[in-house]
Amino acid sequence: MLKSIMNYRFVTKKTLEKQLTHAKVDFPYKKMGNKAYTNNLRQLGNLLKQKVINLSPKNHRGIPQGTAVSAVLANIYMIQFDELLAEMMNKYNGIYRRYSDDFIIIIPQADISYEDIKNLKNEIITKSDEINKLEIEHAKTQLLSYSKEAKSIYKYDDLGWKKSSLSYLGFSFDGVSVLRSNSIYKFIYRSKRTINKYITLKDARERYLRKEGPTSYVKKYNDQGIKIYRLANPTELYRKERIYALAGTMSERTFGTYHRAVVRQCLALFNIERRSSMLAYAKRAQKVFQYKTRGKYRVVIQRQVEKQIRRNQRKVGGINNEW
């Protein structure tokens, strides 16, 4: 089994797109809002057999990410390093935690000086190379100091100590507030795209019902942030025609289903079902962190998501009872 996993092959996105374009295969295929380079597994198999898609030679070193056994093997490989760092932390009454290739060390300031911390950092980097042949980049390694009195986190650089924050496994902590930064950033990015698509499709559908045809202009913002209109170029016109045609094929029921999905995911502040939206996730995370921190720190995960939802609501034209 292990030998089979090590003998994996791959194709990069850039190479795949070149190969499909050269073979005049239409892509990407769209289904239920998702995109794929082939329409189904059968087509993928045929393209591989016909050598339209050429994979890399078999790999004989390392294992791919994502398989169930990859995490297990990674943990086995790191056992000696984990034991060494756990032993080091016992000397300083500190703790060591690792998730995959990302680890954190916390040591009470009373038990170690700043110079000793810097020496410890260099020792850990050296041991990682000696034991596991893994290089820890100095640039990605941070030394942070937490002040309980000021409720702040500081980072040392050439100019001295300055305020900073601790980021680990997607969470950010500035000494007062806990924020699920990565997930919220993804939600903000994806919700903006979803809302823009929704507005575009909604406008196209309304024009289709009025039999007005697609617009021939596009809205853009100049360097001063002022909205301007200009004539669409051929590529933009083609895209508008495609969207207009898609809007025309959507029945009232289909568009209603799509509308409710957008509302649930990006616009609703009330009547949220469990696991149905980002807000439902934020509420669960908020509850967990409030319990874990016992009120010592301000948890703003839910507030950040609600703030973005209100922005989305304003963009689509206000708030109604559904939201």
Q: What is the model's pLDDT at position 81?
A: 93
Q: Which residue has the higher pLDDT, 272 or 5?
A: 5
pLDDT, tens digit (0-9, with 9 covering 90-100), for 94-116: 999 998 888 999 999 887 888 88
Q: Helix, strand, coil % (nearest 5) of the chain?
A: 50, 15, 35
DSSP state of 286: H
Q: What size, in residues, is the chain?
A: 323
Report the alpha-carbon distance of residue 119 to residue 113 in Å, rounded.
Answer: 10
Q: Where are the domains of the chain?
A: 1-50, 69-141, 181-317
Q: What is the model's pLDDT at position 1?
A: 55
Report the alpha-carbon distance of residue 310 to residue 306 in Å, rounded.
Answer: 6
Q: What is the model's pLDDT at position 86?
A: 93
Going by pLDDT thresholds of 50, 70 and 90, the confidence category of residue 87 is very high
Q: What is the model's pLDDT at position 85?
A: 93
* CA nearest neighbour of 77 among 63, 94, 90, 60: 63
User: What's the one-letter identity of residue 278?
Assistant: M
* Lowest-pLDDT choice from 8-17, 87-96, 123-132, 153-162: 153-162
- Rg from Cα positions in the chain: 26
Strands 298-299 and 177-179: parallel
Half-sphere exposure of residue 112, counting CA atoms within 13 Å on the CB side? 21
- How large is the average pLDDT for residues 171-175? 82
C-alpha distances in Å from residue 3, one per residue of 8, 67, 71, 83, 245 = 9, 14, 16, 28, 50
**If phi over 0 gives left and psi between -120 and 50 gives alpha, with beta otherwise, what is residue 113?**
beta
Does residue 80 register a pLDDT over 90?
yes
Report the alpha-carbon distance of residue 206 to residue 133 in Å, rounded.
Answer: 61
Q: What is the model's pLDDT at position 2?
A: 62
Cβ–Cβ contacts within 10 Å for residue 158, how many? 4
What residues does 172 pair with on adjacent strands? 167, 179
Going by pLDDT thresholds of 50, 70 and 90, the confidence category of residue 171 is confident
- How large is the average pLDDT for residues 211-229? 78
Does residue 227 register a pLDDT over 80?
no
Q: What is the DSSP string of 230-254?
A: EEPPHHHHHHHHHHHHHHHH--HHH
DSSP state of 136: P
Q: What is the model's pLDDT at position 269?
A: 83
Does residue 32 register a pLDDT over 60?
no
Q: What is the model's pLDDT at position 84?
A: 93
Q: What is the model's pLDDT at position 79?
A: 94
- How large is the average pLDDT for residues 47-74? 83
Mean pLDDT of the chain: 83
Q: What is the model's pLDDT at position 137?
A: 80
Angle at 33 between CA 32 and CA 34, to 5 degrees: 95
Half-sphere exposure of residue 160, counting CA atoms within 13 Å on the CB side? 0
Half-sphere exposure of residue 60, counting CA atoms within 13 Å on the CB side? 1
pLDDT, tens digit (0-9, with 9 covering 90-100), for 228-259: 888 888 888 888 888 888 888 888 899 899 88
Distance in angstroms between the alpha carbons of the first and the last residue of the chain: 51
pTM: 0.59
C-alpha distances in Å from residue 86, one per residue of 96, 104, 105, 183, 304 = 6, 11, 10, 30, 36
Q: What is the model's pLDDT at position 285?
A: 81
Q: Which residue has the higher pLDDT, 29 or 24?
A: 24
Distance between alpha carbon 239 and the CA centroid of its chain, in Å?
27
Q: What is the model's pLDDT at position 83?
A: 94
Work out the percent of the chain whose per-residue pLDDT is above 70.
91
H helix and E strand count, the chain: 11, 13
pLDDT, tens digit (0-9, with 9 covering 90-100), for 282-301: 888 888 878 777 777 788 88
